[in-house]
Chain A
Amino acid sequence: MLEIPELRYLIFLGCVVPYRISSYEISARKVLDKLGVELVEMPEFNCCGFPLDPVNHDAMLTLAARNLCLAEEQNLNIMTLCNGCFSVLNHVNKDLKEDKEIREKVNGYLKEIGMEFKGTITVKHLVHVLAEDVGLEKIKEAVQKPLNPLRVAQHIGCHIPRPAKYTGSDDPENPAILKDLIKATGAECLDYMDETECCGNPIIGVNSQIPLQLARDKLNHVKAVGAQALITVCPFCHMMFDLHQSRIERAFNEKFGIPVLHYTQLLGLAMSFSPHELGFKELRVDATKLLNQLGS
């Protein structure tokens, strides 16, 4: 078997990023390129499988496994931008590697399309690539304009810390990975109540009231500590806080006006990219005030 080269990944875009959240992809590609990370495009892929798990577990397993097989053919590890894609692909990859019974069942399905899961790659999320493979030191070196006066809050989402058995998170109750990445830009990362709580978005198609209440609570907690922006690493969470923020404001007759930035946009600013290069105009909540303060 060929040795898998360092800092070279197959980028798994998933569906939400190309559907609506291009600012995440634009900014991620910019900063990763400058940090010396090589992204290889997938020749083709399908939905990770996440939305099908509630309907048919086997269908989720095979859709995920098909993507894993495509990566095995390229002999490259996968890097995802989306927490949901990471969760499913990582979980299925580990289960198929470790559980012979599941592997045989899934390979039975895959045989129909001429594929076989072998178990030769690993799945990472962007934050793992940045914090563990590139490393905080290298990121700090790449920072040209430290974001010193800026005070932000993080929303890491559910599927990077949980379930710990699969994610290998150091501390799922208080995960440090995104906080450390934020601090590397020079910005201050503020603690707030219920930081690791869900954004609610996965059930918005079934019930919209509960997710809006959850997101409202979170925005209130973020506002209470005086954060100037909320930093996300998942397109689905981003959608909840950025795209739906005005809807939440209308529903509860409250005003937040909290810009929601992808971590790669925050890092990009610190690396001297312009807001235009980082897709800032795609954001729904206006970030002009914050950018003016930084002189970007």
Chain B
Amino acid sequence: MSGEKETQKKELGERSVIKASEMDPSFKYKISKIPGAEKIMLCFQCGTCTADCPIARFSDSYRPRKLLRMTQLGLKDRVLSSDVIWLCAACFTCVDHCPQDVGIASIIRAIRNLAVKEENMPIVYRDLASTILKSGYAYKISELRLRKRKEQGLPLLPKANIESVAKLFNITGVSKTIEKERA
């Protein structure tokens, strides 16, 4: 592969000793109160999610089983500051295969949402959110593209109601996240 390597700066700290003082026993309860993540405690570490995960096959560090165990253990800081949590592609293979119906993908989403509050968010998400705020669409659709639609016999692309989008961004807290990341 041409030069590029999978660079995960902040891995899950597997080589360092876990100190009891690092563990936050309330973390799993906090996670379990988030809609979709209620069943975190049901994970019994069978590893089906990880064996079947297409990302784990090509990643040295992304292991959903491990992420869930660390969450159960209360290794809050390691989990929330990790880059690895951003590798789930939301393919939902683990969701369908989990014998305990843990709902792993939504637990990872819950972890990501908390990590964002700790200012751990890949830049791509800030870009996507900013573009949605500006245009209503996730990608900047160029004037050329818009004009080309006419030549292609396609109907005009409607302008999204960005006032409404901005209001929703404000009340759900996304606006604040984007501003904080910018600062």
Residue numbers of A with Cβ under 8 A of B are 13, 15-16, 18-20, 22, 25-26, 29, 41-47, 50-59, 62-63, 66, 101-102, 109, 112-113, 158-159, 162-165, 172, 197-198, 200-203, 205-214, 250-252, 279
Contact = CB atoms under 8 A, between A and B. Distances in A.
Given A22-B149, A205-B122, 5 more contacts: A45-B158, A47-B132, A47-B137, A57-B110, A158-B92
B148 A22 contact: yes
Contacts of B88: 203
Interface of B: 1-2, 4-6, 34-36, 54-55, 57-59, 86-93, 95-96, 105, 109-110, 112-113, 116, 121-122, 124-125, 127-129, 132, 136-141, 145, 148-149, 152-155, 157-161, 164-165, 167-169, 171-174, 177
Contact of B160 (A46, A112, A162): A46
A279 B2 contact: no
Contacts of B136: 44-47
Nearest to A198: B91
Contact of B164 (A113, A164, A165, A210): A113
A13 B157 contact: yes
Closest 10 CB pairs of A and B: A205-B124, A198-B91, A162-B92, A19-B139, A46-B136, A59-B172, A15-B138, A158-B91, A44-B158, A51-B128
Given A16-B139, A57-B110, A198 B160 contact: no
A213 B58 contact: yes
Given A22-B149, A55-B177, A56-B172, A210 B132 contact: no
B137 A56 contact: no
A26 B153 contact: yes
Contact of B89 (A42, A45, A198, A213): A198
Nearest to B105: A163
A213 B57 CA distance: 10
A91 to B, nearest CB: 10
Contacts of A51: 125, 128-129, 132, 138
A112 B168 CA distance: 8
Given A198-B93, A213-B58, A26 B174 contact: no
Contact of B2 (A198, A205, A250): A250
B177 A203 contact: no
B172 A62 contact: yes
A154 to B, nearest CB: 16
A113 B168 CA distance: 8
Contacts of A165: 95
Nearest to A252: B1
B28 to A, nearest CB: 18
Nearest to A41: B155
23 contacts: A18-B137, A44-B161, A45-B136, A45-B160, A46-B136, A47-B138, A53-B109, A54-B116, A55-B113, A55-B121, A55-B174, A58-B173, A63-B165, A109-B171, A159-B92, A198-B55, A198-B91, A205-B122, A206-B124, A209-B58, A210-B55, A210-B58, A214-B58
Given A57-B35, A58-B172, A18 B6 contact: no
A55 B112 contact: yes
Nearest to B6: A209
B158 A208 contact: no
A198 B158 contact: no
A59 B173 contact: yes
Nearest to B166: A113
A18 B141 contact: yes
Contacts of B86: 54, 203, 206-207
Contacts of A63: 132, 165, 168
B58 A52 contact: no
A200 B137 contact: no
B153 A44 contact: no
Nearest to A53: B109
Contacts of B148: 22
B61 to A, nearest CB: 10
B4 A208 contact: yes
A158 B55 contact: no
A43 B158 CA distance: 6
A203 B122 CA distance: 10
Given A51-B125, A210-B87, A18 B157 contact: yes
